[in-house]
Structure 1
């Protein structure tokens, strides 16, 4: 009987995952991760992890499986929270959910589980695992979940072969309504519980409130760049080679105060991210205003009116070698190699046709159609059919 340790989060997905594994004959143990109790950075007046921990305990009790809590708050602060503050301060927008999976659930947590004699770690993610044999060796695949509305493969885009080999995703073949139905049928306390929002495994938190505790407010200007601006009319230079063209297409647009009109004030450029439309509090426009660029050094936010504003769109992005990750190491590109893929730059974005170009210093991803709000610090993930094969941090 193989032993599986389930990361019980107190939500319906992990509860049903634990139930299914028990039905399949595994020895199942529930483990709740406590990721936060640092009073110097309060997250909200409510204490969501306590409620979640109680729900996880009730589920374990109902399923008749052992349950315990592990405190990972020290590692979480070091690997996720400090990293987030640093990235925001530098004007990049990190993805805490992807990091939390790579650094906490499938690293720190997995090591603890293996020390407790687990053969596998299981989570309530909507994705699937495949295995193929190549040259007599098992290769693990990360496949999209069956429910197109809930596929969470993107959040696991940084997993390694080793991590996948020890992982199980019991609900990947189900849709969310089917998961809720199973939970109701066996009368789990989490059956009707809402999906958690906010930071992974911390619970309800508004990011700006969280960031304000370390990144102090600093008044700056909001500048509007008009879509008729000459910046967007410039013709492309002649390129000597493909790499020059891709470098040009993926380049960050440089704006200056004199390129636009000052239309308001903000409390800190580091609280804003490209593509954001909420929180600008500037009226008098027919269409919504979007952030098209932030400059944390000068503390200026550049905005444009309407979701078709040319400042929002780019057709290529770059990933540095040190931030490039292949789940399928056997498919890794060498310099000058190319690959046709489907890619996404954020969770829930429909997959987009793209081509990968490997160069000495990293990898370019060029999309068939320009993409809105390609954001530094976020992850791009690429797929072959329904298999996620690699990813990287947008630089």
Structure 2
């Protein structure tokens, strides 16, 4: 019997994952990760970790598997929370869920599991693992979950071959309704529990409150840039090389106050992110205002009216070499290589046709269609068919 340690989060997905593994004849152990102590920033009773660990324990009891809690709050603070504050301070928008999987679940947690004699670590993610065996060597694939509506492969876009080798995703072949049905049939306490919202493991957090713990409020102005601004009418130059063209398409526009008008005030540019609509509290515009850029040095938020404002739309982005990651290392591009893929720049986004271009300093991704709010610090992930091949941090 192979031993599997399941990250029991107290939700229905990991509960059913543990049940399925037990049915398949594995020796299953449930482990709850406690990653946060500070209840002052969670919204009251909206899934504090105590309820979750209790539910996880009841599930383990019901399934007749051993259960214990591990406290990873120190590593979580260091690797996720501090990183988040740091990124927001620089005016970038991090994705804590992607990092949590790379740094906590499939690193710190995985090491603990392997020390406990586990052969595998399993989670309740909606994705699948494929194995290609060639010449005595196994290559692992990260495949989308069968449930299109719940596919979570994007959140695992930073995993390595070593991590995938030891990972199992028991519910990847199921849809969410099927998972709930199984949980109901076997009488799990988590069967009808709502999906958790908010930061991975911290529970439902008010992000501004959370950021304000470390990033001090600082009053600044909100500037509206009109669609007709000359900066958007820049003539497209003649390009000598493909790389020049991509550099132009992915360039960042540098805004200044003179290009628009002051329409309001805010408490700190570092609390806002590109594409954001909520929280601006500016009325009286024909179309709603969206954040098109933030300047954390000058503490200015630049906005534009409507979803199709040219300040929101771009066709290309760049990932530098040090933030470029291939799950399929065997398919990594060499300089001057190109690859047709489907890509997404955020979790819920439908896949979009794109081309990868490898250059000396990193990787350009050019989309067939304009993308809205390409945001520095977020992850772009690229796929061929159902397989996620690699990812990178948008620079």
TM-score normalised by the shorter chain: which range applies? Answer: over 0.9
Question: What is aligned with 1:280?
Answer: 280
Question: What is aligned with 1:210?
Answer: 210
Q: Which runs of 5+ in 1 are unaligned?
A: none
Q: Deviations over 1:265-313 (max 9, x none)?
A: 0000000000000000000012111000000000000000000111100
Equivalenced residues, count: 394
> For 2:174, what is the secondary structure of its paired residue?
coil
Instruction: Provide the C-alpha distance between the structure 1 equivalents of 2:68 and 2:252, rounded to a whole number of angstroms.
Output: 48
Instruction: Provide the C-alpha distance between the structure 2 equivalents of 1:209 and 1:149, rounded to a whole number of angstroms.
Output: 30
Q: Deviations over 1:114-143 (max 9, x none)?
A: 000000000000000000023431000000
Q: Deviations over 1:128-179 (max 9, x none)?
A: 0000023431000000000000000000000000000000000000000000
The TM-score normalised by the length of structure 2 is 0.98
Instruction: Provide the C-alpha distance between the structure 2 equivalents of 1:74 and 1:45, rounded to a whole number of angstroms.
Output: 23
Question: What is aligned with 1:269?
Answer: 269
Runs of 4+ in 1 over 6 A off after TM superposition: none
Question: What is aligned with 1:131?
Answer: 131
Instruction: Provide the C-alpha distance between the structure 1 equivalents of 2:134 and 2:299, rounded to a whole number of angstroms.
Output: 52
Q: Deviations over 1:303-352 (max 9, x none)?
A: 00000111100000000000000000000001000000000000010000
Query: Does residue 164 of structure 2 align to residue 161 of structure 1?
Result: no
Question: What is aligned with 2:7?
Answer: 7
Equivalent pair of 2:41/2:205 in contact (CA under 8 Å) = no
Instruction: Provide the C-alpha distance between the structure 1 equivalents of 2:144 and 2:64, rounded to a whole number of angstroms.
Output: 31
Question: What is aligned with 1:254?
Answer: 254
Q: Deviations over 1:11-57 (max 9, x none)?
A: 00000000000000000000000001147x74445471000000000
Query: Does residue 361 of structure 2 align to residue 353 of structure 1?
Result: no
Instruction: Provide the C-alpha distance between the structure 2 equivalents of 1:267 and 1:388, rounded to a whole number of angstroms.
Output: 39
Q: Which runs of 5+ in 2 are unaligned?
A: none
CA RMSD of aligned residues (A): 1.0
Question: What is aligned with 2:145?
Answer: 145
Query: Does residue 111 of structure 2 align to residue 96 of structure 1?
Result: no
Q: Deviations over 1:219-239 (max 9, x none)?
A: 000000010111111111221
Question: What is aligned with 2:59?
Answer: 59
Instruction: Provide the C-alpha distance between the structure 2 equivalents of 1:283 and 1:44, rounded to a whole number of angstroms.
Output: 28
Question: What is aligned with 1:119?
Answer: 119
Query: 1:364 Cα deviation (Å)?
Result: 0.3
Question: What is aligned with 2:329?
Answer: 329
Instruction: Provide the C-alpha distance between the structure 2 equivalents of 1:48 and 1:38, rounded to a whole number of angstroms.
Output: 10
> For 2:311, what is the secondary structure of its paired residue?
helix
The TM-score normalised by the length of structure 1 is 0.98
Query: 1:78 Cα deviation (Å)?
Result: 0.2
Q: Deviations over 1:41-76 (max 9, x none)?
A: 744454710000000000000000000000000000
> For 1:310, what is the secondary structure of its paired residue?
coil
Question: What is aligned with 2:74?
Answer: 74
Instruction: Provide the C-alpha distance between the structure 2 equivalents of 1:136 and 1:193, rounded to a whole number of angstroms.
Output: 44
> For 2:102, what is the secondary structure of its paired residue?
helix
Question: What is aligned with 1:49?
Answer: 49
> For 1:205, what is the secondary structure of its paired residue?
coil
Q: Deviations over 1:81-109 (max 9, x none)?
A: 00000000000000000000000000000
Instruction: Provide the C-alpha distance between the structure 2 equivalents of 1:135 and 1:256, rounded to a whole number of angstroms.
Output: 58
